[in-house]
Amino acid sequence: MRYASVTTRLADLGGAKWEIHSRARRMKAEGVPVLEFTIGEPDVPCPEDLMQTAARAMMAGRTGYSNGRGENGLLRALAARYSTRRGRVIAPDQIMCFPGTQTTLFAVFMALVEAGDEVIVGDPMYATYEGLIRASGAVPVPVQLRPEDGFRLRAADVAAAVTPRTRVLFLNTPHNPTGAVLTRADLAALGAVAQAHDLWIVSDEVYEDLVFDGVDFASPLDLPELAERSIACASISKSHAAPGFRSGWCVGPAEFCERLLPLSETMLFGGQPFIADMTAQAVSHPSEVAPGMVARFAARADMLAARLEGVAGLRVHRPDAGMFALVDVRATGLSGIAFAESLLEAEHVAVMPGESFGLALAGWLRLALSQPDAVTAEAATRIARHAAHLLEQAA
Domains of the chain, start order: 5-45+289-394 (3.90.1150.10), 48-283 (3.40.640.10)
Q: Which of 48, 47, 72, 53 is nearest to 274 (CA)?
A: 53
One-letter identity of residue 50: L
Mean pLDDT value across the chain: 96
Q: Would you list the DSSP string of 37-77? A: -SS---SSPPPHHHHHHHHHHHHTTTTS---SS--HHHHHH
Task: Indicate the pairing of strand 95-98 with strand 248-251.
Answer: antiparallel
Residues in Cβ contact with 151 at an 8 Å cutoff, skipping those fewer than 6 apart: 122, 124, 145, 175, 178, 179, 180, 317
pLDDT digits (tens, 9 = 90+) for 111-132: 999 999 999 999 999 999 999 9
Task: Indicate the pairing of strand 118-123 with strand 349-350.
Answer: unpaired
pLDDT digits (tens, 9 = 90+) for 8-58: 998 888 777 889 999 999 999 999 999 999 998 999 999 999 999 999 999
Across 201-220, average pLDDT: 98
Q: Would you list the DSSP string of 270-301? A: ---HHHHHHHHHHHTS--SSHHHHHHHHHHHH
> ω into residue 174 within 30 of 0, thus cis?
yes
At 394, the pLDDT band (50, 70, 90 cuts) reads confident
Across 167-180, average pLDDT: 98
At 395, the pLDDT band (50, 70, 90 cuts) reads low
The model's pTM is: 0.95
Tell me how far apart the alpha carbons of residues 31 and 89 are, in angstroms, rounded to a whole number.
Answer: 54
